[in-house]
Amino acid sequence: MSATETTKQNQNNNAQNNKAAKPKIAFIGLGNMGTPMAENLLKAGYSLCVYDLSAPAIAHLQQSGATVADSPKAAAADAQVVISMLPAGEHVHSVYLGDNGLLSDLPKGTLVIDCSTIAAADARAVADAAIELGIEFLDAPVSGGTGGAIAGSLTFIVGGSAEAFARAEPILATMGKNIFHAGEHGAGQVAKICNNMLLGILMAGTAEAINLGVKNGLDPKVLSDIMLQSSGRNWTLEVYNPYPQVMNSVPSSNRYQGGFMTKLMRKDLNLAMQTAEKTKVDTPMGAKAAELYEAHTLEYGDKDFSSIMAFHDSSVLSK
Ligand code: NAD
């Protein structure tokens, strides 16, 4: 064998050893967030078997190098780790605990990481059932949007045991930059809904401020630049401006397609309101944002949540 062949052989062996050392992962839920997250795991050398209800989503991941399955159980058959990224609590419940639910089929010691945003109580219910079966469970909702999912710079907000967190950390680090251990089971979800309540308030407020400026003769880009360097600065102005064509590569400049759907923001605001009500905490600004997103969802549920801009000026939908 020549020196070049030997080097190539060594490189192949290294790549194979590298893959062999990594746990096999089942990834369930390949939507706006799940697809780029799964692709980052593939790029980092993990073996992935994926499942979604949507055939095109599965086909896309197959092209990216994943093995595909026709059910959550088939996806998890050979996996040491299961990751899910589903819309809401009912989907998480049905995948893990429903008829034919996945949990009862997993071998002891499997690590389940649910990245969906769901009620803390729902996360605790799945965690309790998992613990009974000797399975480790983490709630690990994310922040950072589809941009963060594509760039691998998400923030993970994790609830669960320190041991399970330590096991999950290197996997999460391939999809995110900041990985927080918020506390025990459910703590990740509580932190996440606090954050998203604030995000809903900030997005609704930013859209309202830009509308006030535009209706008084200001250019939305000039106003946004001013607020960005003033005390109104916030994440939506920095990376997710709700007014069309102020920023490139954000949903508002693409007719509010993709991104984080209005109906998902409404779900998160409702989760925050339910938590506030249960624990008797006052959240008047959150309540107002929840009311606005409730009304907005009736017509624009599938559009990105920055389309709350259209609440003030429907012409933005065609700009
Ligand atoms: P999405 O609707 O784009 O994707 C969800 C995917 O889950 C879809 O592909 C759907 O087909 C699949 N699915 C639904 N039920 C299923 C089942 N039983 N089995 C297998 N697949 C199933 O949603 P998304 O934007 O990717 O969000 C996912 C979660 O992440 C939500 O909880 C959301 O609140 C949260 N989140 C989203 C963003 C964002 O910017 N989009 C940011 C942070 C957190």
Predicted confidence at residue 148, as pLDDT, reads: 95
- How much is the average pLDDT of 81-87? 98
Which residue among 22, 24, 192, 221 is the active-site one?
192
pLDDT of residue 21: 83
Domain boundary among 185, 213, 248: 185
Query: Same structural domain for residues 98 and 219?
Result: no
Indicate whether 7 and 149 sit together in one domain.
Answer: yes
CATH of the domain at 225: 1.10.1040.10
Res. 4: pLDDT tops 50 = no
What is the residue type of 138?
Answer: L
Ligand 1 within 6 A of 32 CB?
yes
Q: Which of 161, 185, 209 is the last residue of a domain?
A: 185
**What's the mean pLDDT when you consider all of the chain?**
94
Across 27-33, average pLDDT = 97
Could you tell me the distance, in angstroms and rounded to a whole number, from the CA of residue 85 to the centre of ligand 1? Answer: 5
pLDDT in tens, 110-120: 999 999 999 99
- Report, as an integer, the average pLDDT of 99-125: 96
Half-sphere exposure of 165 (CA within 13 A, CB side): 18
Pocket probe for ligand 1: among 86, 139, 150, 293, the residue whose CB has the most ligand atoms within 8 Å is 86
Q: How many domains does the chain have?
A: 2
Neighbours of 313 (CB within 10 A): 15
Give the structural domain span for 257: 191-318
- Are 226 and 268 in the same domain? yes
Tell how far CA 134 is from the center of its chain.
26
| Domain identity same for 171 and 225 | no
Give the pLDDT confidence of 127-156 residue by residue, as tens digits: 999 999 999 999 999 999 999 999 999 999
Could you tell me the pLDDT band of residue 291, with boundaries at 50, 70 and 90?
very high
Q: What percent of the chain has pLDDT over 70?
A: 94
At 209, the amino acid letter reads A
Q: How far apart are CA 209 and CA 215, in angstroms?
A: 10
- pLDDT number for residue 12: 46
Q: How far apart are CA 217 and CA 283, in angstroms?
A: 34
Residues in CB range of 164: below 8 A, 6 or more apart: 111, 136, 137, 138
Q: pLDDT digits over 39-75, tens only?
A: 999 999 999 999 999 999 999 999 999 999 999 999 9
- The percentage of the chain sitting over the pLDDT mark of 90, rounded to a whole number, equals 93
What is the per-residue pLDDT for 19? 57
CATH of the domain at 23: 3.40.50.720
Of the residues 185, 204, 234, the one at which a domain ends = 185
User: What is the number of the ligand 1 atom nearest to the C-alpha of 143?
Assistant: 43
- Tokens representing 230 are 């003033």
- Which H, E and C letters describe the chain, residue by residue? CCHHHHHHHHHHHHHHHHHHHCCCEEEECCCCCHHHHHHHHHHCCCCEEEECCCHHHHHHHHHCCCEECCCHHHHHCCCCEEEECCCCHHHHHHHHCCCCCCHHHCCCCCEEEECCCCCHHHHHHHHHHHHHCCCEEEECCEECHHHHHHHCCEEEEEECCHHHHHHHHHHHCCCEEEEEEEECCCHHHHHHHHHHHHHHHHHHHHHHHHHHHHHCCCCHHHHHHHHHCCCCCCHHHHHCCCCCCCCCCCHHHHCCCCCCEHHHHHHHHHHHHHHHHHCCCCCHHHHHHHHHHHHHHHHHCCCEHHHHHHHCCHHHHHC
Please work out whether the CB of residue 220 comes within 6 Å of at least one atom of ligand 1.
no
pTM: 0.91
| Phi, psi (deg, nearest 5) at residue 78 | -115, 15
Task: Tell which residue, 154, 146, 142, has the closest CA to residue 182.
Answer: 142
Residues 12 and 96 in one domain: yes
Q: Are residues 218 and 307 in the same domain?
A: yes
Name the one residue in this structure whose structure tokens are 């907005």: 296
* Nearest CA-CA partner of 179 in 201, 164, 209, 157: 157
Cβ–ligand 1 contact at 257 (below 6 Å) = no
Residue 1 scores a pLDDT above 70: no
Domain co-membership, 166 together with 196: no
Tens digits of residue pLDDT in 178-199: 999 999 999 999 999 999 999 9
Q: Ligand 1 center to residue 119 CA distance, Å?
A: 15
Q: What's the whole-number mean pLDDT along residues 92-98?
A: 97
Give residue 3's pLDDT: 46
221, amino acid identity: K
* One domain for residues 235 and 257: yes
Residue 192 among the catalytic residues: yes
Whether residues 44 and 153 share a domain: the answer is yes
Which tens digit of pLDDT belongs to each residue from 211-252?
999 999 999 999 999 999 999 999 999 999 999 999 999 999
The pLDDT of residue 100: 86
Beta-bridge mates of residue 155? 143, 178
Same domain, 204 and 308: yes
